[in-house]
Amino acid sequence: MKQQELLGIDVGGSGIKGAIIDLETGELRSERFRVATPSPAKPALVAVAFKEVVEQFKWKGPIGCGFPAVIREGVALTAANIDPQWIGTNAAQLLGKATGCEVYISNDADLAGLAEMRYGVGRGKNGTVILITIGSGLGSALFINGRMVPNTELGHLFLKNSKQIAERYAADSARKREDLSWEEWGTRFNKYLQHLERLFSPSLFILGGRGSKKIDSYREVLTLKTEVIPAQMRNNAGIIGAAIFAAESQGLEV
C-alpha cells in the first residue's frame, strides 16, 4: 500500500513543530503547529509537549521525528541544546509510549538534509553537499553523491584560535545572546563555512533553520568559493524530512 501522508515533528532547542506531510510532493498538508520546548527540556516534559503536538492533529499513525542530538537506533547519545538527561534515553520508545504511536527518530539536521536532497534544492546534486541548520545550535548533514553520512555534528568543530565549539560562536543563539547585527553574525558564519570549505571541499552548501530565512541580510558578507543557497523548504525542511524518514523506515514507497 502506498501511504499518502505522515506526521512530521521537529524537536528543536526552542520549539517543537509539526505538520502533516504529503509524501508524494513533500508539501505541507496541514498548518504548522508549534509549542515552545519546555525549559528545562527534560525527557518527561518534552514527551508531554510532543504529545500536545500529536493531539493537535488527532494523529494515530506512525510519526517521524527530528531530534537535536546524535541518535543511534532511537537512542540519544548527546545533548548539546537539550537537557543532559536525554543522553542514553531511548527517545523513540519514550515518545512512542507518550503518544501511543510508532515514532521514528533521527538527528534533526540529517532529516532537514534528507528533505532538501529528496524534494528541494539538493535534488540530483552529486559530489559532497553539506547542509547547515542555523538555530539554537548549528546542525549539519553531509551527503556524498546523494548518500547521507549521519550524525556528523559539524557544529561542534573548533575554529582556529577558539576555545569554544563553532555553534557557541556562530549559531543563531549566539547572534541573539551577543545582540549581533545580521552582518556581524554573517561575518562569523562566513568564517565557519570557510573552515568547512577547507576541510571538505564541498560542491554545495545548503542553509536551513530559522537563520536561513534571513540570508538576504548577510549574503553580502559570505566570501566562499562554494555555492551557498538557502534550503527551499527553509524552516520546514526538518518536519518534511522527519515524515520521509518515518515512511522509509517502514519500508513504504515514497
With beta carbons less than 8 A apart as the criterion, state whether 133 and 238 touch: yes
Q: How many residues belong to the site for ligand BGC (CB under 6 A)?
A: 16
For residue 182, the one-letter residue type is W
Please tell me whether residue 10 binds ligand BGC under the rule CB under 6 A.
Answer: no
Residue with cell 498548518: 31
Q: How far is the CB of 187 from ligand BGC (least distance, A)?
A: 21
Report which of 215, 63, 228, 214 is spatially closest to residue 129, judged by C-alpha positions: 228
Indicate the burial class of 250 (C-beta count within 10 angstroms; 0-12, 13-18, 19 or more): middle
Strands 5-11 and 63-67: parallel
59 or 122: CB nearest ligand BGC: 122
Of 7, 9, 76, 109, the one binding ligand BGC by CB under 6 A: 109
- In the region spanning residues 166 to 225, those forming contacts with ligand BGC, defined by CB under 6 A, are 167
For 225, counting Cβ atoms within 10 Å of its Cβ (0-12 exposed, 13-18 middle, 19+ buried), the class is exposed
- Which residue in the shown chain puts its C-beta closest to ligand BGC? 137
Reading phi first (left if > 0) and then psi (alpha if -120 to 50, else beta), residue 23 is in alpha
Q: Does 81 bind ligand BGC (CB under 6 A)?
A: yes
Nearer to ligand BGC, 87 or 252 (CB): 87
- Out of 30, 56, 78, 85, name the contact with ligand BGC by CB under 6 A: 78
116 interacts with ligand BGC by CB under 6 A? no
User: Using CB under 6 A, which of 99, 106, 107, 212 touches ligand BGC?
Assistant: 107
Q: Which of 233, 185, 198 is nearest to 213 (CA)?
A: 233
> Given the rule CB under 6 A, which of 15-23, 68-76, 187-195, 223-231 is the region that contacts ligand BGC?
68-76
Check if the beta carbon of residue 63 is closer than 8 Å to that of residue 54: yes
Q: What x-and-dash track marks residues 147-166 binding ligand BGC by CB under 6 A?
A: ------x-x-----------
**Site for ligand BGC, rule CB under 6 A:** 68-70, 78, 80-81, 107-109, 133, 135, 137, 139, 153, 155, 167
